[in-house]
Amino acid sequence: MESIDNRAAVSLSEEFSVQKPRVQEPVTRQSLSDLPEELLESILDHYDANAGWKPPEGFRSVPSDDRLRPLRSLLRVSKQFRRLVEPRIYSCYEYDDKQHRKFLRTCIARPDLAGAVRFARFKCRFWNARNSAAGGLDAAVAAAEKEANNNITDLCAAAAERGWDETFVADLIAGRKNAELAFSLSLLPNLTGLDFVAPQTWPTDCHLRRFIEAQPISKLAQVQLSGGMEGYGSETLGKFLAAPSVRAAHCSGMTFRGRELWAPRSSQVEHIALEECSLQAADLWALCSACTALKSLALNWKHLDEWSGADLDLAAILRAIDLHAASLSRLALLVAGYVPDLGICIPSGACIRHPAPGASGSLKALNITELEITQPLLAGPSPTPRSAHDFADLADVFPASLNTLKIHINAHLPAFVPFLSALASLAQQPGKLPQLRRVVLLIPSPDSDCDTPPWLRDALAELRAAFADVCEELDPRGGGSVVLGL
């Protein structure tokens, strides 16, 4: 038995000893750098559709570098992919003071990337070392800026090559952000949207305005200016409005000066929004006179008080708006913030229903389809409850073309319920407000942790009897919106 087992073991050992070793075939792997361009383009298109860098609301938002994380592996190994993705990255980007000169140098060295920029947001602070003696900057910051300004000989040489004069180059050396911004804009021939944020302004020169006036950006369609630019921003906005391609302008936190403001009439501008701005009727008249065919106009004043309320001359404001009666389709008249006691600062009779004596402007003459307005500006400042009969003149206030009415209400909604009931009753009568289909109540959230107040629920219960459909979108603290369907 042992011999048999030994022979079997020997035979097995011989079998394995004569067996040829296995040869491992080489595995061929395709490099990412060799991927076809069509596949790379499809990757970028998929990325654009899901989490891309294109701004969802025009030029008002820009992507962050964090969104590029899923693509960084491809960017490291594929020069071809980097070449394809760079123009898309630069098509919409944000530049603040720390990045601005880097961006400026990139535009000078890479005209192809400069030509790819479509949307740009510049965050500029118009302070420089020369102004530090006036208290704008402390000594340490001033010294740092002075040292940084000594390293821009390449920018000065590039500016001289492109025909900028000696005064501009001197201001560039002095570190004036206004000069740097004008230089940047001159290198962006395909820019369509510009968001210019200047939280601190030092209007010591006018290079930006000179550039816009002499060499307007041919494709610029949307402009946003913000950050307390005062009269300087007014004149800058006027220069932008004169550009033949500009269609929309949005300004926030600005103080307007009508005498410095407006460019010649522009038939191209269609949309203007002034948010939390200090605006008087004379300035609005100048603005409306500077344009010929506005389609939408949004006016949002700052908080009104007993001193500034006198500037709210709705009769004069409506006269200015009537200049665009044939073309205007959307109008917003708002007062910024939650103002429960707005009635103390609105002049007597300064509301849409009760204009000043002899006023020629009115909503009735407009052809708007959407009106957004603050409650006291619409029905008057008094919170005293009234009956629906007191609002029988509503058919003579609103234009027959009105389709959607959005109302920012304050704390006195119970007194406003008769107004809404009368509005619903009129809309259901033949020939009166024939196009009105939606009334949206925009309710601010009070600064408290209380639940939705009972008076709000009671008011909505009354409105259900007047309107065919009531859709509530309220948060636990009382804010949100209520859509009333007719």
Per residue in 59-75, pLDDT (tens digit) is 333 344 445 555 555 56
Q: Whole domain around residue 467: which residue ranges? A: 370-485
In a domain, 340, yes or no: no
In a domain, 434, yes or no: yes
In a domain, 53, yes or no: no
pLDDT range class, residue 82, cuts 50, 70, 90: low
pLDDT range class, residue 282, cuts 50, 70, 90: confident
Task: Kindly write down the DSSP assignment for every residue of 330-354, as one continuous string.
Answer: EEEEEE-S--TTGGGGSPTT-SSSS
Total of domains in the chain = 1
CB-CB contact of 204 with 131 (8 Å): yes
In a domain, 277, yes or no: no
Residues in Cβ contact with 463 at an 8 Å cutoff, skipping those fewer than 6 apart: 417, 420, 421, 424, 470, 482, 484
In a domain, 66, yes or no: no
Kindly tell me if the per-residue pLDDT of 260 is higher than 60: no
In a domain, 253, yes or no: no
What does the pLDDT read at residue 117? 85
Query: How far are the Cα atoms of 69, 99, 111 from residue 53, in angstroms, in the given order?
Result: 12, 18, 21
The pTM of this model reads 0.74
In a domain, 148, yes or no: no
| Pairing outcome for strands 248-252 and 370-374 | unpaired
Per residue in 86-109, pLDDT (tens digit) is 676 677 767 666 677 888 888 899
In a domain, 42, yes or no: no
